[in-house]
A and B are shown apart, each in its own frame.
Chain A
Amino acid sequence: MPVELWLYFILTVMIVGSIACLEIKNILSSIITIGIVGLALSLAFLFLGAPDLALVQFVFEILCVIILIRAFAKRSVKLTALKRDIPETVIAVVILAGIFVLSIFALKELPSFGKPIVSVAERYLTKAGMETGSQNIVTSIILNYRVYDTLGELTVLFTAILGSMTILRKIGRKKRDAK
C-alpha cells in the first residue's frame, strides 16, 4: 500500500476527530478526542519518514491530555450549554468556504507531493555526518547547525512555564511576608 493511501486515511480520521472534538458536549470526551487526533498525527509522522517527530509528538500528546484532564475534567468544570447562534455560524462557514476555494489556487503552485522544494538540505544530507559526527541528522541540525534556534526555544519554554507558575501561585510573596 503506498504512503498516499495511508495518509488519506489518517487525514480523514484527523478531520472527523477534530470536528467531533469541537461539537461534543461532554468535556472529558472532547479532551480524549483531541488525544486521538494527536496520536493520528504521530502515525502520520511515522509514515512520512520522521521517527524523531513521531516519538516527540506521541509523548507530548500524552502529557497534554493528562494536563488538560487534571486541569478541567477533574474539577467538574461545566461546559457552557448555549443555543447555537445561527447567523453567526452561517457567516463563519461561508467565509471559511471562501478561503478554502481561494486556497486551491494557491496550493496549485506548490510542487506535487513527493518532490521537496528545499535544496539547502543536500548539504545537510551529504556532509552532516562528517562535519558534526552525529549519526542522527535531525539532532545534528537542532544542536549544532541551528543551536541558536534551540537557545531561543528554551527561552520561550522557560517563559511559558514561569508564566503559568506565576498565574497559579496561591499567595503573592509580598502578602505572605507581611503576615
Chain B
Amino acid sequence: MQNKYADEGMSLIVKTITRFTVWLIFLYGLYIFIHGHLSPGGGFAGGVIIALSYVHLTLAYGKNFVSERINRSAMHNLEALSAIFYILIGLIGLYIAENFLQNFLGKGTLYHIISAGYIPILNLVICVKVGMGLYLVFYYLASYQVKKTGVN
C-alpha cells in the first residue's frame, strides 16, 4: 500500500501488524455491545472499544493518513443523530406505551439473543454516541498545535 504519508506514524512493522489487529478490535467491540444484555459489557464498553480501534489506527499511521480516509463531519453528525434517536425512542414509548422511555417491544424469552425489548436498540445508540464522541475528543486533543503567543 503506497501512500504519501509513508514516513509519518510508526515503523513498517507496526503498520503491518495494525492492518491485522484493527479489525479484530472492532469486531470485539461489536460483540461486546450486541451481547450487552446477556453478558458483562454493554453500550459504554463496546463504544469505547470501537473508539480504541480508531485510536489504534491513528497512532500507527499518523493523523494525516487517517483524516483523509475517515469522514469526520459524518462522525459529528452520527454523534448528534444518536442523541436525537435516544429521545425519539422515548417519544415512541410515550406514544405506544404509557410513559416516556417505557419499553414498547415484547420482552422475548429470557437467555435468548433477541430479547429484553428495547435494551439492544438503546445499547446501539449509546455505543455509537460514546465511540464517536470519545474518538473525536482524542483526535482534536492529539492534533492541536500549541503555538507560542509570547505573553508572560
Contacts and interface: CB of A to CB of B under 8 A. Distances in A.
**Do the two chains touch directly in the complex (Cβ atoms below 8 Å apart)?**
yes
Interface of A: 51-52, 54-56, 59-60, 62-63, 66-67, 70-71, 74-75, 129-130, 132-136, 138-140, 142-144, 147-148, 150-151, 154, 157-158, 161, 164-165, 168, 170
26 contacts: A52-B42, A54-B40, A56-B44, A56-B48, A59-B45, A63-B48, A66-B55, A66-B59, A70-B138, A132-B107, A133-B109, A133-B110, A133-B117, A134-B116, A135-B110, A135-B116, A140-B119, A143-B119, A143-B123, A147-B101, A151-B90, A154-B86, A161-B79, A161-B136, A168-B140, A170-B144
B142 A62 contact: no
Do most interface residues of chain A lie in helix, strand or loop, or is the interface mixed? helix
Contacts of B37: 134-136, 139-140
Given A67-B137, A132-B119, A136-B40, A151 B52 contact: no
Interface of B: 32, 36-42, 44-45, 48-49, 51-52, 55, 59, 79, 83, 86, 90, 101, 103, 107-111, 115-119, 122-123, 126, 129-130, 133-134, 136-138, 140-142, 144, 146
A151 B39 contact: no
B48 A59 contact: yes
B121 to A, nearest CB: 10
- Closest 3 pairs between A and B when the two form their complex, measured CB to CB: A133-B107, A134-B116, A51-B40
Contacts of B138: 63, 66-67, 70
A104 to B, nearest CB: 35
Contacts, number: 124
Contact of A134 (B41, B119, B133): B119
A59 B40 CA distance: 13
A136 B39 CA distance: 6
A132 B138 CA distance: 36
Given A143-B122, A144-B103, 17 more contacts: A55-B40, A56-B44, A63-B55, A63-B138, A66-B59, A70-B142, A74-B142, A129-B110, A136-B39, A139-B37, A147-B122, A150-B122, A151-B101, A161-B134, A165-B136, A168-B144, A170-B144
Nearest to B35: A136
Given A52-B41, A168-B144, A144 B134 contact: no
A140 B115 CA distance: 12
A5 B133 CA distance: 39
A164 B143 CA distance: 13
Contacts of B41: 52, 55
